[in-house]
Amino acid sequence: MFISGIIYKTMTTDELQSDNAPEQEPQNGSPEGQVPVGIARIREEWRKAGLDIAEWPPEKRQDIQPVVFSEVDGGAGIGDYVLDRETVRQRLALSEEAIDRLINSGELDSIVVQGCDGEQRRVISRSSVERFQSDSGIDPEAIERAAEAMADATVAEAIRQLQGEIDELRNTQGKVLAQMKDMLLLEVRNLKEQDRDLTSFVYELAEEIRAALSKKKR
């Protein structure tokens, strides 16, 4: 049986027994650990189902072109494949490079679709994203909560800074008002002293006039 570039054949009893023996590295020298995670998971499931797996030679795999599916709902995706790369990147809070590695390794299932305008784009399976979140322990709500908490902390910090500036302005205004009050009190005191001086001057002047008039009468 041939599916998606991988050959499958029903295993005999002897082959099933040999499959239970310790695993050996493939003949091409590539250890099993270097196989992409998604492909390794599928292989393990098929081994348990009693299928033997034989890979195509590398020179044949290079000739395989990706299947392009046609979108019929104007960008709505196909079946479970409805998430674009940017949506997945924001949902998992990962870099573009990390998303590319997950797609290339098969950890995230994806297909290439072509819209009515002829433009091709890659869409990712929603269930594979949810499976990756479950396997990796990523909680999207925790990411949203962290973002909200960060936004709240930013707002709270801005409010604290604004409150500090208001308090500083209030203290400055208080100092200015106190200085103005002191200046006004000093001015009033000066005016009172000037008034006393003027009163004394008028009194002395009146006494001198009185004395001068008395001398003239004599």
Q: 81 phi and psi, to 5 degrees? A: -90, 90
pLDDT at 64: 57
pLDDT at 75: 59
- Record the tokens describing residue 83, joined without a space: 């998430």
Instruction: Judge whether 124 and 108 are in contact, CB under 8 Å.
Output: yes
Nearest to 75 by CA among 110, 122, 129, 130: 122
pLDDT at 66: 65
pLDDT at 38: 65
Other CB atoms within 10 A of residue 42 CB: 16
* Interstrand relation of 51-55 and 120-125 (parallel, antiparallel or unpaired): unpaired
Q: What is the pLDDT of residues 116-131, one digit of tens each?
A: 777 888 888 888 888 8
Q: What is the pLDDT of residues 146-172, one digit of tens each?
A: 777 788 888 888 888 888 889 888 888
pLDDT at 143: 65
- Record the tokens describing residue 154, joined without a space: 């930013």
Tell me the pTM.
0.39
Ranges of the chain whose pLDDT falls below 50: 1-33
